[in-house]
Amino acid sequence: MSVVNDIVRGADRVLIQERGPGVPEGIYGAECMSCEAVSPLFDNDSLPVAVWALQHSQDRPDHTLFLARTERHWRVVPRPDDPPPASTPGPGFVGPAFVGLMCLLTALSGLLPALTS
């Protein structure tokens, strides 16, 4: 049985973070919010981006705000066959059968006065 770190789980598919040979944990970059300057992108290391931002600000002292970006690879895969973990009902748990019954009774209660008159 494989362990899948879900990002989002759908009915029959799961969105996961792509991992494997050659896939970086993160791709880092930044852009100056005062001009259109953009740093190079670096795999697995945000330090060169921080150095770029400091150097850019040193060259242009009024440029002090940057948008930092981290990109990751995602993949959609078929949902594994293992069942989801069983949930335990909490103190306020109301089952779907009870809710359905209450909806039915509520709808019928509007009809009862009309049927009895």
pTM for the complete prediction?
0.57
Q: Residue 14: beta bridge partners?
A: 9, 77
Q: Domains of the chain: which residue ranges?
A: 25-78
Residues in the chain predicted with pLDDT less than 50, given as ranges, are: 1-3, 117
Report the pLDDT value the prediction gives residue 30, as an integer from 0 to 100: 97
Report the pLDDT value the prediction gives residue 84, as an integer from 0 to 100: 56
Report the pLDDT value the prediction gives residue 55, as an integer from 0 to 100: 97
Model confidence over 47-67: pLDDT tens digits?
A: 999 999 999 999 999 999 999
